[in-house]
Each structure stands twice: as C-alpha cells, then as structure tokens.
Amino acid sequence: MTLKTMNGAPAGASRRAFLSGGAALAGLAVATPRAFARASDRIEGLLAQMTIEEKAGQLSCFADMIRPPVGDMNPLVNIRNAQTLTAELQAGRIGVLMNGVGAQAALETQKTAVEGSRLKIPLLFAADVIHGFRTVFPIPLAEAASFDPHLAERTARAAAIEATASGLHWTFAPMVDVARDQRWGRVAEGSGEDVFLGEVLAAARVRGFQGKDLKADDSMLATPKHFAAYGAVTAGLEYNSVELSEATLREVHLPPFQAAFAAGAMTVMSAFNDVNGVPATANKRLLTDVLRGEWGFKGVVISDYTADQELVAHGFAADDRDAARLAILAGVDISMQSGLYIRYLPELVASGAVPLAVVDAAVRRVLALKEAIGLFDNPYRSLDPKAEAYHTATPAMRALSREAGARSIVLLKNDKTLLPLPKAGKRLALIGPFADDRDNVLGAWGGFFADRRLNVDLASGLRAQLADPASLVVERGCDVEAMIAGGFERAVAAAQGADIVLLAVGESQDMTGEAKSRTDIRIPPVQMRLAEAIAATGKPVVVLLRHGRAIQLEGVVRDAPAILATWFLGSEMGNAVADVLFGTVNPSGRLPVSFPIDSGQEPFFYNGRTTGRPAPADPNAQEYKARWRSIRNDALYPFGFGLTYTRFDVTDMKLSTPRLEWNDTLHVTAKVKNSGDLHGEHVVQLYIRDRVASRTRPVRELKGFQRVSLAPGAEREVRFDLKRQNLMFVGDNDYWIAEPGVFDVWIANSSVDGLTAEFELLPAG
Ligand code: NOJ
C-alpha cells in the first residue's frame, strides 16, 4: 500500500468539486459503468410495456422466497407461503430476492420469474455475504488489523466465488461505516475508526467482490453501506439518532463511500438512523443532492431492511403510504422487505403524489443493474449446481482463511519474550470458555451461510502443531457469562500442572454485530474471576482475546505478560492462532480501533482534537484540563499499535523539502531495518497534523501506510508522497480547502509515537 495520491481540485475549483469530499478530490471520481451511462433500447422497450405494478415490482426486494431465507438475520416480517410467492413472481411483483441460497433452488426460482412472467425480467439474488460464505474469513474489523488491502481484496474475491456458485449475484457488503464508539456492536463489521484505512479497504473489498468483469459468473455486485453515518449513532446505541456536524459527516463518514464508488460499486444501502433529524432513508439531501448531484452516482439505492416503513416510527412519516412516498422521493430505488412500494406506488403515482418519472428513473436504474451483470442475456448465469460443489470450501479457500486469520492477529504485549512458544518441551493449559469452542470462531455474520463443519477451535489448532498433542490440557473453566459446576477447580488444577497457561477469554459472537450494543466493553465478570483464579497460580499467562470490538482490559488480564488480540477469525481460527503462537507466522497486525483504558472514555478515537485545555503529560501537573478524574484520557493500546517477534528500527526520516509548493509533492522518506532474528513485516504509518487552521484539526490523521517485509538484518527505504490535497479539510461553508501553514508529519509505528518533522505548505502562486 502506498500513500493515497490525489490529483486534486485546481485552485478556484467549483463548489461541486469542493463539496465532493476527500475521496473525490483524490481523483476517485465515481465510476460510471457503461450500463448506466444511457438506458439501452432493451430497457426503454421494457419500460414502455410495464404496468405501474410491474414497475413497483422491480423496485421491491423480499427475503421470503421459494428457497427458504436464512432466519435470525433480521426480524421476520411479511413472510408469505411459496404458493403466494410463485404467483407474485409470475405477476412481476418482485425484482430482487434476498438471503436464500443454493444454486438449484435459485435456478428454479429464476425459471418461475423468467418463464412464468409476462415480461420475463430476471430476478437478482442478493444476500449478506460479509466476510466469507461457506468458508469464513476474519470479521472485517479483524481483517482491517492486517492493514493489508490486497488481503481484503483476495478474501472478498474468494467470498464472491463461493457465493456466486451458490446462485447469488449481489452482496450487501462492504460495510464502510466509520465507527468511533466501541459500544456499538457493528464495529465488528467495518474497518474501524479511521477514515483513510476505511477508504482503502472499502475500495479493495469492492474490487474483490466484483472482480474485473461484472458479467463473469463469479462477479458479485457490492453494496457499500449504510448510507450514511450509521457508525455515529449516539452513545453507540444501535439504531440511535445521529447528530453530526456537516464537516465531520463529510470528512469522516462519507469518504469511504466515495472510495467504494470510485472502485466501481454500483449500489448503496440507505441507513436506519436519522442524521440531524432527517432519517437517512428519507434523506433527499444525502440520497439525491450529495450522492447523485455532487458525486454523480448513477447506480441503485436500496433501503435497509424495512427502513422505509420505519420512517413512521421515526415520527417522520404519517403512515406507511407516506413513508413509501418520502422514501422514493428522497431517492430510494428499491424497498427492502417492507412491501411498501408494491403496496403504495401504484396509487401514489395515480394520485399524482409521486411523479411517474421518478418511478421510471428508479426502474431504469434497476434494469440497468441487471443488464450490467448480463442477466438479460443469460438469466441463469451463476446458477449451476455443479459449480456450487466445485467451488465451495476448497483447500485453497481454507488456506486463505488461515492466512488471513494469522495476518489479522495483533500482538499487544509480549513481556520477557514469552512468545512464540516452543512446539515441544512445555506443558500447556488452554483455559477459558473459548478453549475448545467451535460456535464462536466465525463472528456475528459468519454463522448464517457458513459450513460450520470447517470450524477449527483453538484446542484442535494447537494440538495439530504440538510435537506431543498430550502436552496440552484443555479446561473451559466457565461459560461466557455463567459458571460451570466445578469449572474453576478443574481449570486451576490444569494451570497448576502446566508450565504456561493460554487463557481464551472475551466476548461471544452474540455480544457483537447488529443490535448488540454494550454499555461497557469489558470481559464478562465470571471470566474475570476465572482469570484471577488462574493468575493466582503464578503461572505465566498468555491471553488469547476473543472480541468484535476494542475491549477494556483490566486487572490480571491487562497485566498478563502476553496478550494477543485474536478477534473472530473465521473457519480456520484455531490454526491461525496456533500459527502465531508457535511463531510459524510472525504477527504483523495493527489495531484498527483504539483500546481505551476504560469503557467510560467511549467514544474514543485517536484522531480527536486537542481542546483549549489539553491534558498535560504529567497527570498531577495541573487541574482544569481535559482529563478524567480517575485516569488519563489515553489509549491503553492505541490505533495502529502492534508488536512483532522481531525488531524493527525506523531511522533517518527525511523530507525532500521543508517548504511544499501549492502544486508540488513532498517526499517523506525513512529507513526501516529488521534488527531482530526473524523474518517479519512492519506497517510503517504516516500521520500529519495541521498546526493552525480556520477550523480546529485532529491531533493526528493517518495519510498513508506501507507494509514492509524484511529478512533479519535487511533494511529498506520507504517513501510517502504528500500533496496539498492530502492536507485538505472541510472548512467554513462545507468547502474542502487547503490552508497554507505549518504541518507536523510523523513516520510512526502507531498513532502515538514516531519520528517527526515539520514542513510548510506555501500559498498558491
Ligand atoms: C439489516 C442490516 O442493517 C443490513 O446490514 C443487512 O444488509 C440487512 N439487514 C439485510 O439482511
């Protein structure tokens, strides 16, 4: 990965360009696939023949289908029986079916739509393929810790290959919501708290899902979601309101969407939340003025699940009919699951409440999407039951899951070089509710389509690599939130008989994901008591943390000599953790979210602003500063942090010039040396700070990173390029601007350290 290069708006650029946000300024113009440039004759021909019911049908997506949808994913609403559904498909009253899978069932369903309906318009099959399908990869947050967009692209490609083989055309992923409050459960589904990392990974995942050719059998349409600012729900409470300045919306929450569109995403999902009082799903300013007007997005907007109907509960629509009207007028093309469009659009158009042209424009976009992936020419593309068997859970998929898992692990602590462990000669006790648990390796989304037979638990993964598998004893000790009879006693006895304890504690996958907000982000009390009992044996403890968000580490867990952040790593979790524990893989992950000292610091993120009374370095120095009574307002483990089994020295930071001309490029270089004994990879990070600006600026902002792979003793120079466009921010009147002045720049190992220098951005001309 190299530093984002930006082409930039010329001085005096139009308001539209300025308003277009960081990513658009980055030269990431929204891609307009040819299919969307102009509606084809075929589409115009269809439109001319369609009744208003058939039009509303194309704009309706349902989770109930002939092939049963996966339960538990969403509240079950509006479910009908197979007979009714067949009749509706034949009447052309449905355009998209979601969350049911299987090539054979899809084939039959498609036949019903194509051969049984008047206009023979094929269905789109969609699903939440978030981080793998049958083979599951690390949760997106874990994968973000790899700081490796190439990896994210490969896992998304692999997921698309499996999912399309099972009859799908479209995934509701990637989730690109920037999440700055770890209480929110859906932190697990995104790329964490940083904008730049979020942009890079959003683009990589879109490229991965869609592949190079949209018409290929294994290409899967991507949907960045949830538009917009869902990650900013107040207090991290799921579905809560969002109150956000225009500048923060544009600087923090919108750029990953722009990056996804620039990478070719042709659909987007509107969010559940409101933004400053206007629900996202009825938000004309966001869905039409910004998305289509400013950014030129030509693709399809789909609502989140019943989000249009929820406008009534928001107190924004008077009733369901009003909700349908508001959603379509705001720019929602497809209504997901509520059925409001099929129920109300015909009458809304007949009464003149919704212009026919608005409906026609939405239908054109949906048909263009179907045309873009070749569905009209071959409605049975991707619907080959033989391919399904061939492409599912292959050894290559599993190998990728294992590799991705190991690369997502972050080594937080390794006192006295306790790790890596030898594969022979030590007695190990693996203790904790996740020790041999196979139900909590995949993460919140992983369970739906996964082939759970593939799941590798920790105990199996470790035993497979130990010279003597009997040198590992396993005791759960307790459940995730409850005691097990005799569990503590057995666990303590196991620890006493061991040389080293591996303590697998943390959150269950049920404690993360949608609708799983937590008021505090600690390890459940029963597990802490277990940890205390184990620590009291005096044996060295390696913590294997299971989690879908940053966790507040406390007490004996925080103080253990070694800690690995192992997230939910997917099908190969046990093997991936063993690879890192035994040093087959040298850990190189970096935190994509800050670990606070205390839950009460949330929302906590590295790139906040200083305030007028920043906390002094000495906690006793002075009162009346921006700090808590009990703790410093620092991270326990900051964004970007992660250790390795070797040692990297970063030296010789140099700037090509201390004075950056308005239209010039500044090169920032440094040397990275592997001074340890093992091969390893280092993530070099570049941060900036704008010292004085017309709006107060973050204490640091990530602007680039590079992964450097070095043999022991080897050294390499890294180079980052900085342009004026990397220094821009949203100023007064919501314009993106760059201001001349002094900037700090760091080449760092995390968001709180590094070598530093300063330079000046000179005025234009
Ligand atoms: C609700 C979730 O918010 C969204 O991410 C998902 O795609 C839909 N349900 C469909 O399952």
The percent of residues in the chain predicted with pLDDT above 90, rounded, is 86
Q: Is the pLDDT of residue 112 over 60?
A: yes
Which pLDDT does position 37 carry in this prediction? 57
Q: Is the CB of 225 under 6 A from ligand 1?
A: yes
Q: What is the pLDDT of residues 321-373, one digit of tens each?
A: 999 999 999 999 999 999 999 999 999 999 999 999 999 999 999 999 999 99
Which pLDDT does position 71 carry in this prediction? 60
Q: Is the pLDDT of residue 101 over 60?
A: yes
Q: How confident is the model at residue 13 (pLDDT cuts 50, 70, 90)?
A: very low
Token pair 């107060």 in the structure block, residue: 696
Which are the contacts of 249, defined by CB distance < 8 A and separation ≥ 6?
Answer: 228, 229, 275
pTM, entire model: 0.95
Q: Is the pLDDT of residue 8 over 80?
A: no
Q: Is the CB of 743 under 6 A from ligand 1?
A: no
First to last CA, the chain: 32
Query: Is the backbone of residue 352 left (phi > 0), alpha (psi -120 to 50) or beta?
Result: left
Distance CA 322, CA 353 (A): 10
* Average pLDDT of span 46-60: 98
Pocket mutation for ligand 1, best pick of 305, 306, 512, 516 (most atoms within 8 Å of C-beta): 305
Q: How far is the CA of 149 from the centre of ligand 1 (A)?
A: 24
Which pLDDT does position 31 carry in this prediction? 55
Q: How far is CA 390 from CA 129, 165, 385, 395, 730, in A?
A: 19, 8, 9, 11, 50
Token pair 């003597």 in the structure block, residue: 468
Phi, psi of 493, rounded to the nearest 5 degrees: -65, -40
Q: How confident is the model at residue 134 (pLDDT cuts 50, 70, 90)?
A: very high
Give the 3-state secondary structure of residue 720: strand
Is 128 labeled as catalytic in the residue annotation? no
Q: Is the CB of 334 under 6 A from ligand 1?
A: no
Pick the residue whose CA is nearest to atom 7 on ligand 1. 172
Q: Report the run of H or E that residue 55 belongs to, with start and end.
A: helix 52-58
Q: How far is the CA of 304 from the centre of ligand 1 (A)?
A: 6
Q: Is the pLDDT of residue 2 over 70?
A: no
Pocket mutation for ligand 1, best pick of 239, 304, 334, 445 (most atoms within 8 Å of C-beta): 304
Q: Is the pLDDT of residue 186 over 70?
A: yes
Q: Is the CB of 637 under 6 A from ligand 1?
A: no
Q: Is the pLDDT of residue 45 over 90?
A: yes
Domain coordinates in residue numbering, the chain: 400-601, 648-761
Distance CA 173, CA 450 (A): 16
Which pLDDT does position 616 carry in this prediction? 85
Which pLDDT does position 30 carry in this prediction? 55
Which pLDDT does position 109 carry in this prediction? 92
Q: How far is the CA of 305 from the centre of ligand 1 (A)?
A: 6
Q: Is 99 or 748 the better-scoring residue by pLDDT?
A: 748
Q: How far is the CA of 445 from the centre of ligand 1 (A)?
A: 10
Q: Report the run of H or E that residue 98 belongs to, with start and end.
A: strand 96-98
* Average pLDDT of span 256-276: 98
Give the 3-state secondary structure of residue 409: coil
* Average pLDDT of span 272-298: 98
Q: Is the pLDDT of residue 29 over 70?
A: no
> Structure tokens of 435?
């020790």
Pocket mutation for ligand 1, best pick of 129, 131, 172 (most atoms within 8 Å of C-beta): 172
Q: Is the CB of 177 under 6 A from ligand 1?
A: no
Q: Is the pLDDT of residue 708 over 60?
A: yes
Q: Is the CB of 189 under 6 A from ligand 1?
A: no
Among 64, 274, 304, 322, the active-site one is 304
* Average pLDDT of span 86-113: 93
Instruction: Evaluate whether 200 touches 153 at the Cβ level (below 8 Å).
Output: no
* Average pLDDT of span 205-217: 98
Phi, psi of 755, rounded to the nearest 5 degrees: -85, 145
Which are the contacts of 638, defined by CB distance < 8 A and separation ≥ 6?
Answer: 591, 594, 595, 606, 750, 751, 752
Domain 400-601 homologous superfamily, CATH: Glycoside hydrolase family 3 C-terminal domain (3.40.50.1700)
Burial degree of 479 (CB within 10 A; 0-12, 13-18, 19+): middle
* Average pLDDT of span 251-277: 98
Task: List for the chain the helix, strand, coil content (%; round to 5).
Answer: 35, 20, 45
Mean pLDDT of the chain: 93
Q: Is the CB of 74 under 6 A from ligand 1?
A: yes
Q: How far is the CA of 473 from the centre of ligand 1 (A)?
A: 41
Distance CA 317, CA 294 (A): 27
* Average pLDDT of span 681-701: 98
With respect to CATH, is domain 648-761 assigned 3.40.50.11260?
no
Q: Is the pLDDT of residue 583 over 90?
A: yes
Q: Is the CB of 4 under 6 A from ligand 1?
A: no
Which pLDDT does position 390 carry in this prediction? 80
Q: Is 76 or 580 the better-scoring residue by pLDDT?
A: 580
Which pLDDT does position 38 carry in this prediction? 64
The percent of residues in the chain predicted with pLDDT above 70, rounded, is 94
Instruction: Evaluate whether 543 touches 560 at the Cβ level (below 8 Å).
Output: yes
Which pLDDT does position 75 carry in this prediction? 78
Q: Where are the alpha helices (DSSP H) in 212-336?
A: 246-248, 255-262, 284, 310-314, 320-330
Question: Is the bond preceding residue 226 a cis peptide, omega within 30 degrees?
Answer: yes
Q: How confident is the model at residue 21 (pLDDT cuts 50, 70, 90)?
A: very low
Q: Is 9 or 240 the better-scoring residue by pLDDT?
A: 240
Nearest Cα neighbor of 553 from 594, 588, 517 is: 594
Pick the residue whose CA is nearest to atom 10 on ligand 1. 305
Which pLDDT does position 33 carry in this prediction? 55
Q: Is the pLDDT of residue 126 over 90?
A: yes
